[in-house]
Homo-oligomer: A and B are copies of this chain.
């Protein structure tokens, strides 16, 4: 009745590997469960929710370290304010937005030099992509080289 399952079942139920569960435990993301006489981990039903908390937090961009922090908040909900939690989340949001911007810059730069390339079956002797990387400026009508 008190559903208490072993690590293999929890792993299957939550879609992660047994090793990952032990790893999360070592990282403090999962509480140490009770043990059977022979030392097997015995998880309560709630363990699955806790793993899923971790997975959802990961999915929205939190690192495991962040998640440990979130779980601390979660555990003493009463002692924390919404403000604290929201700040935490907003900081992460900004990190994500920064990463997006960085990648968008990369995309723009790479697209520019890629679009300029003929892509034809001829030797790449004058390939604009390689030239752009070598010279540091995309195309631009024959800027006579400075190096």
**Which A residues form the contact surface with B (CB < 8 A)?**
46, 49, 52-53, 56-57, 59-61, 70, 73-74, 77-87, 89-90, 92-93, 96-97, 99-100, 103-104, 106-107, 109-111, 113-114, 117-125, 127, 129-130, 132-134, 136, 147
Q: Are A83 and B119 in contact (CB under 8 A)?
A: yes
Known contacts A53-B133, A78-B123; A113/B89 CB under 8 A: yes
Closest Cβ neighbor of A117 among chain B residues: B86
Partner of A124, one of B59, B85, B97: B85
The distance from the CB of A107 to the nearest CB of chain B, in whole angstroms, is 5
Bound-state Cα–Cα, A45 to B119, Å:
31
Most buried by B among A78, A85, A120: A85
Chain B residues with Cβ under 8 A from A134's Cβ?
49, 53, 74
- Cβ-closest 6 pairs across A and B: A86-B119, A61-B106, A60-B110, A89-B114, A80-B124, A86-B117
